[in-house]
Structure 1
Amino acid sequence: MNSVLYVVSTPIGNLDDISRRAVSVLEAVDWVAAEDTRHSQRLLDQLGLRKRMISCHDHNENVRSAELVERMKNGEKGALISDAGTPLVSDPGYRLVRACQDAGIQVVPVPGASALLAALAAAGQPSDRFVFEGFIPSKGAPRQQAIERLATSDITSIIYEAPHRVLSFLEALRDEVSSEREITLCRELTKQFETIRRGSVAELCDWVASDSNQQRGELVLILSPAEQAAGWSDRDQALAKLLLAELPASRAAKILAAHTGMKRQEVYALLEAMNG
């Protein structure tokens, strides 16, 4: 088919996870766009494929999209792949997909491996509803706000985290959640040193602190939903309204937690509900 962009999922570690359809598509296209062409070239070499590689990343995607659209308008077939897994999941590519759609070029997904779905399937956490957080901010107030949001979320949360920050993330989360709150750490999925471990946030925090190997490689964290807090008295609600009129919800939650004896994340959830 002419004028088509295939969005092709690739293995996240184990080469055997590539589908026959993905290999067939990669054989048929005129070029392959990838975030890191050197990394992706190794995949094509393993598959015995020789294709023109074109870089497409955050810094050049707008310009590159226009170029690739012109190529496809002239009858070329292209494939967009990720460094690993499903393209556009915490990776560039959506601008190219939109440019193709705007130009009337067909976009065809070729499903396959996905780290977030593989982790969710093996996490032992509720999976009827979940939110994908991707990589949370790396530092400062935005990072703390993201952790506080995770602490009060009533649905399963999927988080990507850099290995050198995973311990600090667990330590910060431990300070915000109840002692029973569970999290599953999934590391190096489908690779030789694949690790999947579920426990309380405090337990996994201690484990990661004691084993530096768990601070290496690709990581996915699956946080269980927060239990919904019980209601509070009319007097507490009145105090909450007064505090919210003067203070951010995070500061008001600290004061109310000390006043009521409730967990801060429980109070924060109630305050968010009041604001909503």
Structure 2
Amino acid sequence: MVASLRPAWDVACLDAFDAHATLPAFLRQLLAYQNQHRGAASLDGLVAAVLAVLQAPLVLVVHNVEELAPAHQAALSALARDPNVRLVASVDHLWAPLLWSNDMLKDFNFCREEVHTGESYDLELRGKFPDMPSWCDPFTVEVASKVSIGLVLKSLTNNHRELVEVMAKNQLEGRKEGISMPDLLAVAEDRMIASNLTKIRRLLNELTDHDIVVQRQGQDGTTVYVLPVKQALLRRLAQGEVPCDDADDRDEDTDMEDA
């Protein structure tokens, strides 16, 4: 949005929190306001074109400047460097300035003012997420997690699946915090899953890379490995089953019965 502030000044506002807002489109709008309809192709070219056609000092008001892409923030600092441009920007993220280079900090040359409006973020959230993101729905996240476990286990070796089975049984037997590397190696040797530490580490690394197994610190300070899944899924893994779509539905029913 571009408007006249007073005869000697123009003001332009950009809602950077809007998912559909981009700095290049904003700069092209500024050029159109100056009756310059031939925009440059590159971002640097757009910045140069805007500065070249300024007929009056320009005030830029950018809401949530940290939501712009890093390259766009750098281009904005190049605009702010010009003596005919004044930049007023809001920042919600505490650590946003850490992304700015020394040159950007110098070009912005902000005078900081901390303000707590006490207002909700409804407008910003609607702008940033026009549609509800899938990770806001706990059921979507859970189903996706289960399906991915099944797909990954099917693509791995029998040794991987047997190791997951052993770990699931261990957790069901009361060791919910996980199992240490020495204990896991001892069980793996008994089951002939892995004969040495190097092999067990290789299996664990592949499972942790796919987030099937996570590494945590036990109560005694030792490193333990655990399957971060619900009890119903844990029981099926302990029986050597590989989760599938149909099994996911049974999981929900089982969880409700457990509750």
Fold match by TM threshold 0.5: no
Whose relative contact order is higher, 1 or 2, with alpha carbons under 8 Å and at least 6 apart? 1
User: TM-score of the superposition, structure 2-length normalised?
Assistant: 0.30
| Structure with greater proportional helix content | 2
| Structure with greater proportional strand content | 1
User: TM-score of the superposition, structure 1-length normalised?
Assistant: 0.28
